[in-house]
Amino acid sequence: MRDATYLLDGIFLDNETELNILEHTTDTAGYTDVMFALFDVLGLRFSPRIRDIGKKSLYRLDKDNSYLNLDILLKGNNINQSLILERWDDILRVAGSLKLGWVTASLFVGKLQSFPQQNNLLRAVQEYGKLIKTIFILRYLNPEEYRRSIHSQLNKGEVLHSLRRFLFFAHQGQIRKRQQEDLANQSSCLTFVTNAAVAWNTVYISQVLEEMRLEGYPVFDDDVAHLSPARYEHINPYGKFFFDIAGNSARQGLRPLR
């Protein structure tokens, strides 16, 4: 089962913050034509980093149209517009069901792909996904800034994964529980500790930056944007832990900075 099947589940079901997700980046394992289509009809931007993107096929709506410098990439591939228009209302109903939580994206995609013969709705979604993928690839290949932004977003995710692996050292970082509830509890505990580390780093990084400004050091927003709150060099995950709850509650302000 590919990662792509569960992407929208994480965005609509697991996002418990007040932030609206506008764009999602992933690597090659997280992309399919179906995901391009579903992200677009749901009003989101899907920006994967696709391996060997120069070898991917591009598509056009009208085979009679010719595009300077692009014909070599199009290779005669055309979008089946009639199929998309025929099932467009069904595609919008699917988008509404996903948006309102009546069905999960993983269940929907799994059901469509389980038919012995390709379902017409699945084919229509794939055709629309090819169109959106073509637009994305053209956008990806043109401005370097767009490629850099996708790469930066993926790096942020990898840094967070590194923090989780660092914290989750028991059983060599493997979840070995058997029951669903135990699996969820172990995963939630890791998320809780990860969030605690990120929150701690964010507070103290902000304080360090404020101290630097007060001391006259130049602090530029472009530089701050590259700072990560997922650092863990200062965290000791081993041994016993002692929490002085009474002392911490009585402390005024933050700890002294080094």
Q: In this predicted model, what pLDDT tens digit does every residue of 53-96 receive, in sequence order?
A: 878 888 888 877 777 777 777 766 788 999 999 999 999 999 99
**57 and 111 inside one domain:** yes
Helix, strand, or coil (residue 149): helix
- pLDDT tens digits, residue range 133-188? 999 998 898 888 888 889 888 888 889 888 888 888 766 666 666 777 777 777 78
Task: Report the domain count for the chain.
Answer: 2
User: Does one domain contain both 121 and 216?
Assistant: no
Instruction: Give the model confidence (pLDDT) of 186-239 as tens digits.
Output: 778 888 889 999 999 999 999 999 999 999 999 998 888 888 899 998 888 887
Q: How confident is the model at residue 118 (pLDDT cuts 50, 70, 90)?
A: low
Give the span between the Cα atoms of 98 and 104, in whole angstroms.
6
**Is residue 17 in a domain?**
yes
Domain-embedded: residue 257? no
Type of residue at 115: F
Average pLDDT over residues 41-59: 87
Residue 113 shares a structural domain with residue 170: no
**Per-residue pLDDT, 92:** 94
Binning pLDDT at 50, 70 and 90, where does residue 116 land? Answer: low
pTM over 0.95: no
Q: Which of 152, 188, 145, 148 is nearest to 168 (CA)?
A: 188
What percent of the chain has a predicted confidence (pLDDT) above 70? 92
* 171 φψ region: left (φ > 0), alpha (ψ -120 to 50), beta (else): left
| Residue 167 domain boundaries | 148-250
Partners of 47 in beta bridges: 25
**Is 25 strand, coil or helix?**
strand
Closest CA to 57 of 30, 35, 76, 37: 76
Q: What is the mean pLDDT of the chain?
A: 84
Q: Is the pLDDT of residue 241 over 60?
A: yes
Mean pLDDT value of segment 25-45: 88
Whether 183 and 112 share a structural domain: no
Which of 73, 108, 142 terminates a domain? The answer is 142
Give the pLDDT of residue 229. 92
> 224: which residues sit within 8 A by CB, 6+ positions away?
209
